[in-house]
Structure 1
Amino acid sequence: MAGLCFDMYGTLCDTSSVRTRLGEELGVSDCLVAAVDETWRRKQLQYSYQSAQMDAYEPFWEITSHALDYALAQYDLDPDDDTRTRLLHAYDHLDPFPGAVEALDRLSAAGHDVVVLSNGNPEMLERLADDAGLSPHLDDILSAHAVRTFKPDPAVYEHAAETLDRPLGDCRLISSNAWDVAGAGNAGMATTWVNRARDPPEAIGARPDREVDTLPAVADDLC
């Protein structure tokens, strides 16, 4: 049996579910809400890469906060402090993707160690896992915060293997983020890509070992 490392943001939980809170708090058009959401997520990822490359680590909660500020400024939105705080905390209340609990439970019953491996810092991951109802179905929550960098740095995947007390090749990353899959495979970890959008794989880094389009299909494949 393997150590199965699930990405959280975009894999187990839907980052685009922040749109509900954005719409409620900002009172703008659906089109603008979608643009703010897309920019927020894009800058969140970009700032994590920059932070790692510049050796200027900040916890992912702070990265997410900076990205929100950029997205709001991009569209000339200036909510008050209380509204901005509520927007930021939308990341504590993301919707789990359909079949998330089912997949975790089936894989655990099959004898796999089932953990989260995420760029999120421990506190934000724990809040989200509790809110989304995922905590009882996980063996552990592993954070890139432990090594003060972010995926796809190999150190994050190596940390997971060390924590699980397994060779890196006996661990598998399950992620919907193609760049994450490419990074984990490049580091030597087995990978499953949850390719919901049927995108092509990344041109840089390793190609996925396995590819599915839903979380239950991960369990179909590995149980």
Structure 2
Amino acid sequence: MTGICFDMYGTLCDTSSVRTRLGAELDVADRLVAAVDDTWRRKQLQYSYQSAQMDDYEPFWEITGHALEYALAQFDLDPDAATRERIREAYDHLTPFAGAAETLDRLSAAGHEVVVLSNGNPAMLERLAENAGLRSHLDGIVSAHGVRTFKPDPSVYEHAAETLDRPLDTCRLVSSNAWDIAGAGTAGMATTWVNRRRDPPEAIGARPDHEVTGLPAVADDLSSD
């Protein structure tokens, strides 16, 4: 059996569910809420790459705050500090995708070790896992914070294997992010891409070993491995 590492943001939990909090706090049109959310998520990922490349690590909670500041400024929105913090806290309350808990349970029942592997810092991940009702379905949480950089740096995937005390090639990443799949595969992990939007794979880095369109299909593929 293998160590199966699930990405959290966008794979187990839906980052776009922050739109509910954004709409309530900003009181703007739905179209603007969607634009702020899209910019926030894009800059969150971009800032994690920049932080890693500049060797200027900050925990993902701080990265998420910086990205929110950019998104608000992009659309000339200037809520007060308390409102900004309530918006950022939406990342503690993301909605799990359909079948998330059941998928984790099926894989555990099949004998796999099932953990989260995420750029989120440990406290951030623990809060979300509890609030999303997923913590009791996981064997553990592994954070990129342990090596003070972010995916897709190979050291993050290597850190997961070391934490699980398994060879890297006996671990598998499950992610909806194509860049994450490319990074994990290039580092030497097996991969399953949850390609909900039926996007093409990345043109650089490794291609996915398995490709599915939803979480239940992950368990269909791997529960008998």
Q: Which category describes the TM-score, using the shorter chain as reference length?
A: over 0.9
Q: 2:130: which partner in 1? A: 130
Whether 2:119 is the aligned partner of 1:119: answer: yes
Name the CA distance, whole Å, in 1 between partners of 2:46 and 2:175.
18
Q: Amino acid of the residue matched to residue 187 of structure 1?
A: A
Name the CA distance, whole Å, in 1 between partners of 2:204 and 2:41.
21
Q: Secondary structure at the match of 2:197?
A: coil
Per-residue CA deviations over 1:98-155 (Å, capped at 9, x if unaligned) read 0000100000000000000000000000000000000000000000000000000000
Q: 2:75: which partner in 1? A: 75
Q: Amino acid of the residue matched to residue 125 of structure 2?
A: L
Q: Secondary structure at the match of 2:218?
A: helix
Structure 2 unpaired stretches of 5+: none
Q: 1:174: which partner in 2? A: 174
Structure 1 unpaired stretches of 5+: none
Name the CA distance, whole Å, in 2 between partners of 1:214 and 1:24.
29
State TM-score, norm by structure 1: 1.00
Q: Amino acid of the residue matched to residue 10 of structure 1?
A: G
Please give the residue correspondences for 1:1-223 in structure 2 after superposition, counting only pairs within 5 Å. 1-223=1-223
Q: Secondary structure at the match of 1:173?
A: strand
Q: Percent identity?
A: 82
Q: Amino acid of the residue matched to residue 139 of structure 1?
A: D
Q: Amino acid of the residue matched to residue 111 of structure 1?
A: G
Deviation for aligned residue 1:81: 1.0
Q: Secondary structure at the match of 2:90?
A: helix
Name the CA distance, whole Å, in 2 between partners of 1:79 and 1:58.
24
Name the CA distance, whole Å, in 2 between partners of 1:92 and 1:78.
22
Q: Secondary structure at the match of 1:55?
A: coil
Per-residue CA deviations over 1:2-48 (Å, capped at 9, x if unaligned) read 00000000000000000000000000000000000000000000000
Root mean square deviation, CA, Å: 0.3
Name the CA distance, whole Å, in 1 between partners of 2:132 and 2:165.
28
Name the CA distance, whole Å, in 2 between partners of 1:204 and 1:148.
24
Runs of 4+ in 1 over 2 A off after TM superposition: none
Q: Secondary structure at the match of 2:199?
A: coil
Deviation for aligned residue 1:177: 0.2
Name the CA distance, whole Å, in 1 between partners of 2:82 and 2:54.
31
Name the CA distance, whole Å, in 2 between partners of 1:23 and 1:163.
39
Deviation for aligned residue 1:82: 1.0
Name the CA distance, whole Å, in 2 between partners of 1:55 and 1:84.
27
State TM-score, norm by structure 2: 0.99
Number of aligned residue pairs: give it.
Answer: 223
Name the CA distance, whole Å, in 2 between partners of 1:85 and 1:173.
31
Q: Secondary structure at the match of 1:192?
A: strand
Name the CA distance, whole Å, in 1 between partners of 2:150 and 2:187.
13
Q: Amino acid of the residue matched to residue 108 of structure 2?
A: S
Q: Secondary structure at the match of 1:185?
A: helix
Q: Secondary structure at the match of 2:43?
A: helix
Per-residue CA deviations over 1:67-123 (Å, capped at 9, x if unaligned) read 000000000000011111100100000000000001000000000000000000000
Name the CA distance, whole Å, in 1 between partners of 2:90 and 2:101.
21
Q: Secondary structure at the match of 1:196?
A: coil
